[in-house]
Chain A
Amino acid sequence: MSKKETLSEGKRQILSGNTALAEAAVRAGCKFYAGYPITPQTAITEYLSERMAETGGVFVQAESEVAAINMVLGASAAGARAMTATSCQGLSLMAEGMSSLAAGRIPGVIVDVQRGGAGTGAILPSQCDYSFVTRSLGHGGLHAYVFGPSTVQEIVDVTGRAFDIADEYRTPVLILTDGVLGLMMEAVTLPEFKEDIPDREWKIEGREGLRPKMMTGDNVKPPIAQENRLRDIFVPMYEEWEQDPLYEEVETEDAELIIAAWGSVARVAKTALKELREEGYRVGMIRPISLYPFPTQAFRSLDPAKVKNIVVAEHALPPQLMFDVDHAVQGRIPLTSCTHSSGVLLSPDEIADACRKLL
């Protein structure tokens, strides 16, 4: 598919999730991309191999995901909006680098087009990296802002926000899609090219730049200075994020049962919800859009007198999203897990059946 044909300004067009994400990154001012091939992410890397040069950016095919994330670190420290994309195994290899981005307060956008399972796993879609990216970003216990979009348009929208959040908070930002969303084609409207990208006054540029000496990733400090850095910068930042998580509520007002789902599974759940509503069941859905910060309050504020059960639907086994929902409702509402994994996908009927049994 020729890039130029697909990219008419301002009008709706049909793009795959991967292509849409890549183009949205370019329009968000991404000027550096490093990537390594892995199914089902590869289309992003292929697309940007041409597109970065067309838009005055830099593309490097890295020798590994380890190198890719560290190239992003270098490019970002130099002042460029930078991104890499991979899939599960590659994200494991990036764990050390992501931790380093967070610790050095170096912005960067990391895309994980999830495939299935542990080890070599499978190449089919799953949501198996949810816990990996929401609990702690590699070693050290720091976090990234994590998006879990559910449509191709939402992929486009969160990609733009990802670059802005990365710059505003000086943090890595993750976008988790999966093989379903990456390959699926949908109508989208792309944004205009972002013009007003703020300069990073902290960027590393030699002694011509800010003085005294600048350094990223400085941990040559006494322990108390390192601890204070966590206390003064990172903890307040995460608390601020937690004030304003992104999520969607669907018909929750009168719901007796809530489906919790994110990403591609939420699309399936929406079909199930429609079916159940037509049958007269009072079912609603809460869909986290930011996976970290998690919309804890949306679940915690559910009334146990009204909501009898929460069905947590996800492509992860053992369940992962389940733990954040459990933490939110604190045992006051029973949870039911409805999952597949390893590329086996939930159908609307399966989710609907799981709900019917509880109503």
Chain B
Amino acid sequence: MELTYGKELNKALFNHDSGFCPGCMHPLINKILGEVLTENGYLENTVMVMPIGCGCNTIRYMDVDMVRGLHGRAGAVATGFKRVRPDKVVITYQGDGDAAAIGGLETFYAANRGEAFTAIMVNNQIFGMTGGQMSPCTLVGQQTTTGERLAQHMGYPVHCAEMIAQLPAVGFCGRFSVHTPKHVLQTKAAIKKAIELQMNEGKYSFIEILSACPVNWHIKPEDGPKVIEERVLPEFPLGVLRDCTKEA
């Protein structure tokens, strides 16, 4: 039987193999983002603001116009872009090192202003591209190339979705995962909702998505979902934390 998944379901992907590491969940997130843009008809009208870090490899796989931001600056770049072109779908795509460490201020203030774009933060609890250093979301006790996270020196993992959910200007915010098919569908529904809120009501959304980084977690690629279930979810619970469509 011929494989039917392809161009009609997802018009956003280039037709070549992924160069992401085995077990990395960026390709899957790229894929569902592409599906959403294909399904809701926004693909031709979308501009992505790209990060520095593993997430920027998306440049090679998604056939979408992009503005390449500096490390951490996607929130500011997207603010400038969207204010000039409110008719465009604007999506920032960053990792936790990019969005929560060096870009913490830009991420927070874009959310606080309620800028009408959709922020996607892929949280793999590590700096992937530079080879496994401690990130703001690194778990307590997790080994990194810059040491073990000890709470007495480095505090606790930063809960971005919970922080941003407190801001009244935010339209939709939550933490999601792609480690099982069920979670993939939930994440896809969340991205879809966020983009619709952006275009129909001019709302800001923050979608945090958990990902595995087997290479830098020093686990087998196939063990990523299991480790997310056992170690990551207890620290980073999933769920919708703010939804303006459900508020009275």
Chain B residue at smallest Cβ distance from A103? B68
B168 at the interface (CB under 8 A from A): no
Give the dominant DSSP class at B's interface.
Answer: helix
A32 neighbours in B (Cβ, 8 Å) = 80, 83-84
B85 neighbours in A (Cβ, 8 Å) = 78-79, 205
Q: Judge whether A213 and B106 touch: CB under 8 Å.
A: no
Binds A, one of B59-67, B136-144, B196-204, B235-243: B59-67
> Which residues of chain A in 76-96 are interfacial with respect to chain B, using CB atoms and an 8 Å cutoff?
76-80, 82, 96
Q: Judge whether A215 and B105 touch: CB under 8 Å.
A: no
A31 at the interface (CB under 8 A from B): yes
Binds A, one of B69-77, B158-166, B177-185: B69-77
Decide: A63 near B109, CB < 8 A? Known: A70-B77, A206-B45, A215-B59.
yes
A214 neighbours in B (Cβ, 8 Å) = 65-66
B82 neighbours in A (Cβ, 8 Å) = 74, 78
B81 at the interface (CB under 8 A from A): yes
Q: Judge whether A204 and B47 touch: CB under 8 Å.
A: yes
B88 at the interface (CB under 8 A from A): yes
B205 neighbours in A (Cβ, 8 Å) = none
Q: Judge whether B65 and A60 touch: CB under 8 Å.
A: no
B36 at the interface (CB under 8 A from A): no
Chain A residue at smallest Cβ distance from B68? A217
B68 neighbours in A (Cβ, 8 Å) = 104, 215-219
Q: Judge whether A74 and B81 touch: CB under 8 Å.
A: yes
Decide: A220 near B60, CB < 8 A? Known: A74-B76, A79-B85.
yes
Contact of A216 among B44, B46, B67, B113 (CB under 8 A): B67
B213 at the interface (CB under 8 A from A): no
Q: Judge whether B105 and A64 touch: CB under 8 Å.
A: yes
B78 at the interface (CB under 8 A from A): yes
> Which residues of chain B in 7-47 are interfacial with respect to chain A, using CB atoms and an 8 Å cutoff?
43-47
In the complex, per-residue mask of A210-227: 1 if CB is within 8 Å of any chain B CB, else 0: 000111111110000000
A67 at the interface (CB under 8 A from B): yes
A192 neighbours in B (Cβ, 8 Å) = none
Nearest CB of B to A222, in Å: 13
B65 neighbours in A (Cβ, 8 Å) = 204-207, 209, 213-215
Contact of A206 among B46, B73, B84 (CB under 8 A): B46
A71 at the interface (CB under 8 A from B): yes
A78 neighbours in B (Cβ, 8 Å) = 47, 80-82, 84-85, 88
B49 at the interface (CB under 8 A from A): yes
Contact of B76 among A71, A80, A82 (CB under 8 A): A71
B124 at the interface (CB under 8 A from A): no
Decide: A80 near B84, CB < 8 A? Known: A67-B105, A67-B109, A73-B77.
yes
Chain B residue at smallest Cβ distance from A32? B84
A214 to B44, CA, bound (A): 12
A195 at the interface (CB under 8 A from B): no
A5 to B106, CA, bound (A): 37
B79 at the interface (CB under 8 A from A): yes
Contact of B79 among A74, A100, A220 (CB under 8 A): A74
Chain A residue at smallest Cβ distance from B70? A100
A208 neighbours in B (Cβ, 8 Å) = 44-45
B88 neighbours in A (Cβ, 8 Å) = 78, 205-206
A34 neighbours in B (Cβ, 8 Å) = 80
Contact of B78 among A58, A74, A104 (CB under 8 A): A74
Q: Judge whether B67 and A73 touch: CB under 8 Å.
A: yes
A62 at the interface (CB under 8 A from B): yes
Decide: A74 near B64, CB < 8 A? Known: A206-B88, A207-B44.
no
Nearest CB of B to A51, in Å: 16
Q: Judge whether A70 and B70 touch: CB under 8 Å.
A: yes
A151 to B217, CA, bound (A): 61
Decide: A70 near B76, CB < 8 A? Known: A63-B109, A207-B65, A216-B67.
yes
Q: Judge whether A97 and B84 touch: CB under 8 Å.
A: no
A158 at the interface (CB under 8 A from B): no
A133 at the interface (CB under 8 A from B): no
A28 to B70, CA, bound (A): 28
Besides A62-B76, A77-B77, 8 new A-B residue pairs in contact (Cβ under 8 A), listed by A number: A63-B105, A63-B106, A67-B76, A67-B105, A70-B76, A73-B69, A214-B66, A216-B67
- Interface residues, chain A, with chain B CB atoms under 8 Å away: 31-32, 34, 58, 60, 62-64, 66-68, 70-80, 82, 96-97, 100, 104, 204-209, 213-220
User: Nearest 4 CB-CB pairs, A to B?
Assistant: A74-B80, A217-B68, A75-B80, A70-B76
| 12 CB-based A-B contacts, threshold 8 Å | A32-B80, A32-B84, A67-B105, A67-B109, A68-B76, A70-B73, A73-B80, A75-B80, A75-B83, A77-B80, A204-B66, A207-B63
- Interface residues, chain B, with chain A CB atoms under 8 Å away: 43-47, 49, 56, 59-60, 63-70, 73, 75-85, 88-89, 105-106, 108-109, 113
